[in-house]
Homo-oligomer: A and B are copies of this chain.
Amino acid sequence: MASILAQRPPPARVAPLVGPWSVPIRDVQPPWTVPLTDGEHVLIEYGVAVAAMSLIAMLTRMWSARREVGDRYRPMVHASVAVSAVAFLSYVLLALELQGGYVRRGGVWVPQPEAIGTWTARYLDWTVSVPLLVVEIVAVSAVTGRAASRARLVGGGAAALMVTLGFLGGVVIGSGADFRALLWLGVASAVCFAVVYAVIIVVVLRSLPVLPAAARAPMTTAMVVLLVVWFVYPATYGLQGIVSGGAWTVTEHLLMSGADIVTKVAFGLLLLRVARIRTASDVVAADDVHPESIWIDQLRQSEGERAAALRGSDPR
């Protein structure tokens, strides 16, 4: 182990080989080792802070949503609460690493060894939050019972493994500067990536015919948004092996901050809509009751249980 987790290697120039995708294999300059101009530095700060603020806003929203969704679909809300909390704290950590990791010297922001923390903070968030995104979508799907357990286990497990492998390749081994580690752990991570995709697609496709009509559009949008935006992560991982420079560091940070907003906030709000439509639909179908009337965009979807009782009729 000690030999793999070696200290930052001397910048030994290995002979340029031709790697896959016809890119010459060479040692990599990780994005957190590049000096930044004032404008680049403030743009990264802005991207990180806007993501953090969006996540804390989402946390307050989802925390309140626990009462607005039936017990049946509430695991989706619980998972989203956890995702928002974990991601918010990770962004706070990222912001601290950003502040401590760069020192302004000679008009330029020079990265310190601690700047690696701006990347580590992202991976540790994903290790916990990506499996929880799988939990979210399963919880409002039509997959139930043991099949739901299995989907969560396979999808969530593959997601955790995917992130961990990516972390080992992109940050740990050779301090993220070892192209071969980047490549082969990237490949292994991509296999897990494919498993996660498969689980999500199967879960959603099986659910669509069963879901109430109004829930199908947000469910489909949520899936598409997730699957499309998730490509940002392997793309920036791959970029690490190919390009470098301040502008790329900025681009990677902004892309990943934006992707985190989409997959944690927008995705969660779409699934919350699905959960609320399904809760209302269960009330109408007499499968459950709910204390309040449920309204979406001020249109009533179902009646609260006491409203029905007062009317002297069945609540649906």
Nearest-CB residue, chain B, relative to A119: B42
Q: Are A7 and B37 in contact (CB under 8 A)?
A: yes
Nearest-CB residue, chain B, relative to A113: B104
Q: Are B42 and A116 in contact (CB under 8 A)?
A: yes
- Tell which of B39, B57, B73, B305 touches A6, judged by Cβ atoms closer than 8 Å: B39
Nearest-CB residue, chain B, relative to A139: B298
Q: Is A162 an interface residue (CB 8 A)?
A: no
Q: Is A4 an interface residue (CB 8 A)?
A: yes
Q: Is A206 an interface residue (CB 8 A)?
A: no
- Tell which of B104, B120, B247 touches A2, judged by Cβ atoms closer than 8 Å: B247
Question: For residue A1, which residues in chain B have a CB less than 8 angstroms away from its CB?
Answer: 247, 250-251
Q: Is A308 an interface residue (CB 8 A)?
A: yes
Quote the shortest CB–CB distance from A112 to chain B (angstroms). 9
Q: Are A5 and B288 in contact (CB under 8 A)?
A: no
Quote the shortest CB–CB distance from A177 to chain B (angstroms). 10
Question: For residue A225, which residues in chain B have a CB less than 8 angstroms away from its CB?
Answer: none
Q: Are A60 and B85 in contact (CB under 8 A)?
A: yes
Question: For residue A7, which residues in chain B have a CB less than 8 angstroms away from its CB?
Answer: 37-39, 107-108
Q: How many residues in A have their beta carbons less than 8 Å from beta carbons of B? A: 93
A-side residues, CB < 8 A to B, are: 1-2, 4-8, 37-40, 42-43, 45-46, 49-50, 53-54, 56-58, 60-61, 64, 66, 68, 70-74, 78, 81-83, 85-86, 89-90, 93, 104, 107-108, 113, 116-117, 120-121, 123-125, 127-128, 132, 139, 144-146, 148-149, 167, 171-175, 245-247, 250-251, 287-289, 291-295, 297-300, 304-310, 314-315
Question: For residue A139, which residues in chain B have a CB less than 8 angstroms away from its CB?
Answer: 298
Nearest-CB residue, chain B, relative to A173: B39
- Tell which of B5, B107, B172, B310 touches A309, judged by Cβ atoms closer than 8 Å: B310
Taking A5-B39, A38-B113, A70-B292 as given, write out 15 further A-B residue pairs in contact, using a Cβ cutoff of 8 Å, ordered by the A residue number.
Answer: A2-B40, A38-B116, A42-B171, A46-B167, A50-B128, A53-B90, A53-B125, A61-B81, A68-B74, A72-B293, A144-B298, A145-B299, A146-B297, A306-B306, A309-B310
If A50-B124, A60-B82, A128-B50 touch, does A2 touch B309 (CB 8 Å cutoff)?
Answer: no
Q: Are B310 and A289 in contact (CB under 8 A)?
A: yes
Nearest-CB residue, chain B, relative to A43: B172
If A148-B297, A175-B38, A288-B307 touch, does A2 touch B246 (CB 8 Å cutoff)?
Answer: yes
Question: For residue A38, which residues in chain B have a CB less than 8 angstroms away from its CB?
Answer: 5, 7-8, 113, 116, 175
A–B complex contacts, Cβ < 8 Å, 7 sampled: A39-B172, A53-B127, A57-B82, A61-B78, A70-B292, A70-B295, A287-B300
Q: Are B40 and A127 in contact (CB under 8 A)?
A: no
If A8-B107, A288-B293 touch, does A53 touch B309 (CB 8 Å cutoff)?
Answer: no
